[in-house]
Amino acid sequence: MSQEKLLNLLKVQKCIYPPEDFVKNANVKDYEAEYKRFLENPEKFWEEVANQLFWYKKWDKVLEWNYPYAKWFVGGKTNITVNALDKNIEKGLKNKVAFFWEDEFGNEKVVTYGELYRLVNKIANALRRAGVKKGDRVVIYMPLVVEQIAAMLACARIGAIHSVVYAGFSAPALRHRIQDAEAKLVITADVTIRRGRAIPLKQIVDEAIRDLEYVEKVVVLRRLQPKVDLIGEKEVDFYDFIKDESNYCEPEIMDAEDPLFILYTSGSTGKPKGVLHTTGGYMVGTYYSMKTVFDLKDSDIYWCTADPGWITGHSYIAYGPLLAGATQVIAEGAPNYPDPGRWWRIIEKYGVTIFYTAPTAIRMFMAAGEEWPNKYDLSSLRLLGSVGEPINPEAWLWYYRVIGKERCPIVDTWWQTETGSVMITTIDSLPMKPGKAGKPVPGVIADVVDKNGNPVEPNKGGFLVIKYPWPTMMRTIYKDKERYEKYWNTIPNCYFAGDIATKDEDGYIMVLGRADDVINVSGHRIGTMEVESALVSHPAVAEAAVIGKPHPVKGETIKAFIVLRKDHKPSEKLIEDIKYHVRMELGALAVPSEIEFVDKLPKTRSGKIMRRVLKAKELGMDPGDLSTLEE
């Protein structure tokens, strides 16, 4: 069908039905029944999932809920890597492929569960030998390679808390995260490779850890020849570090509520938040969603295009799929390098069956043209996924038609770093409504409410909230209890993470975007305040305000309004200089694409910058109530 025909069909029937044989074979054949089963007895529902996994000791209580603090599987003892590796190997997956990895040039590496097990155990032993103990923090700043995921699992094996920092972040951003976590050890690589270029990582680490005494060791995966120099006693080669270690490392017996990882994300202040996830609930929830939302079967070849530097890569590369015994494809580098056929070539090559990516990538490929995917055989695909930002109906239909050939259901999955796993989508058997994420997954009670927590009328805008604890929920913000509590005390009796949404007559939720000062650029969360602080640290900048501006491919881009200090004049060179400064302070993803110099910024009488006034002016919209504006 053409795009127009599909659009017309949609107008008539309002939704798109998953193919009958898909539903017939789906892991959840009847969403309503599964949801009902959950509502009738939430604890029993989760207990049944937990019982599918291995525990050294079962829990005494499924849930302990002291608003807003939840404990799941209280008293339970387990280790997530024993479930992801040892138990899967016992089940016969030793020689099953865990990862097909490849780079931009098609160089590949195939790693089985048995091989991954040995690598993880060796790293874990080496970490222990280096003095890393349960509860210590390890920062992982690496490209998308198997060693990156193995390093995460190795930490989990010995109970160390990993904090993965996306390799696109700059030295100050990395330093901040290392400092906040007081990391004992950093694992990095010489370079990450993107668009055919080697981008140095180790140099950034050198700068980030300068004078940080508590960083005792830096482990460096050296990929290029000649090998990058290691300086001083702190630094050690990744493979030298693990070479004499045994293939078995005694797993740390973890309490269900022992921390598993910290992952930093942007909020509405200048300081990123260290979202903390724990062991048992996270394990149970990611395992469940892998099987249900992604309908994972033993024979699937699953490809999530995220990087483990973000939550999607944690839950749906490093943990969920391995717990569920999946075979995965991972690919380092840019989606469209050396050409826009790269991803489709990979799908054909490995026979990918489940493909999970972001709207920004879909829109980029839409712009590159259908001829690229059409060159390849995509008939292995059976399920598509989307994550990170709202997917507009046009992009949804293109994805459905051109990639899924109108055969593959699409799960538009709404969730967050804080929620740990998918919360809203059209699980398996549910009809899809392009542009609307769908319904809460079984295990989740979601709603759209006003500021007092009362449900809004169908199709009216409101705040998207979760009304009942769930196993993969974050347990706190590292060292910042107040910021954690704010999620639960902004709207009475609900978790509110900052999105606005609508809900239709059928209960389908459409996520419209953020209600706070967070910008979503290509599916990545960036705080306006973070960018503003980076801007004002430039010597020519007196004041700065940043807004998100709609963009056809990236979702949003960053525009900065800048008041210069006395004696500085606007110029093209200064714009470039300021952009470079932000790149160095935060990383490429936070660089404003537009900078406008202004004489002053709109402020409230109390001196707060009114970003919404700037935004309204920029987009030609009504600025709303201006009574608090100073002038």
Which residues bind to ligand PRX, rule: CB under 6 A?
265, 311-312, 387-390, 412-417, 437, 497-499, 511, 514, 520, 525
Question: 454 Cβ partners below 8 Å, 6+ apart?
Answer: none
Strands 191-194 and 197-200, by their bridges, are: antiparallel
Select 267 or 333, whichever has its Cβ closest to ligand PRX.
267
Q: How far is the CB of 497 from ligand PRX (least distance, A)?
A: 6
Select 219 or 437, whichever has its Cβ closest to ligand PRX.
437
CB–CB of 156/81 below 8 Å?
Answer: yes
Select 78 or 421, whichever has its Cβ closest to ligand PRX.
421
Select 499 or 532, whichever has its Cβ closest to ligand PRX.
499
Distance between start and end Cα atoms, the chain = 55
Interatomic CA distance for residues 343 and 357, integer angstroms: 11
Q: How far is the CB of 525 from ligand PRX (least distance, A)?
A: 4
CB atoms within 10 A of CB 429: 21
Q: How far is the CB of 418 from ligand PRX (least distance, A)?
A: 7
Select 140 or 304, whichever has its Cβ closest to ligand PRX.
304
Q: How far is the CB of 610 from ligand PRX (least distance, A)?
A: 22
Tokens of 43: 């604890």
At residue 563, the 3 state secondary structure works out as: strand
Q: Name the residue type at position 1.
A: M
Q: How far is the CB of 315 from ligand PRX (least distance, A)?
A: 8
Interatomic CA distance for residues 597 and 561, integer angstroms: 6
At residue 542, the 3 state secondary structure works out as: strand
Using the Cα atoms of residue 495, residue 499, residue 500 and residue 506 in order, give the sign of their dihedral.
negative
Select 191 or 509, whichever has its Cβ closest to ligand PRX.
509
User: What's phi and psi for 112, nearest 5 deg?
Assistant: -85, 170
Select 71 or 273, whichever has its Cβ closest to ligand PRX.
273
Tell me how many degrees the CA angle 562-514-474 measures, rounded to the nearest 5. 115
Select 175 or 524, whichever has its Cβ closest to ligand PRX.
524
Q: How far is the CB of 478 from ligand PRX (least distance, A)?
A: 15
Q: Is 567 exposed, middle or buried (0-12, 13-18, 19+ CB in 10 A)?
A: exposed
Interatomic CA distance for residues 598 and 297, integer angstroms: 57
Q: How far is the CB of 356 from ligand PRX (least distance, A)?
A: 11
Comparing every residue's Cβ against ligand PRX, the nearest one is 417
Strands 462-466 and 476-477, by their bridges, are: unpaired
E strand spans, 252-373: 254-255, 259-265, 273-278, 301-304, 327-331, 354-357
Q: How far is the CB of 331 from ligand PRX (least distance, A)?
A: 18
At residue 218, the 3 state secondary structure works out as: strand
CB–CB of 547/611 below 8 Å?
Answer: yes
Residue 123's closest CA among 143, 103, 146? 146
Select 220 or 354, whichever has its Cβ closest to ligand PRX.
354
Q: How far is the CB of 155 from ligand PRX (least distance, A)?
A: 21
Select 6 or 437, whichever has its Cβ closest to ligand PRX.
437
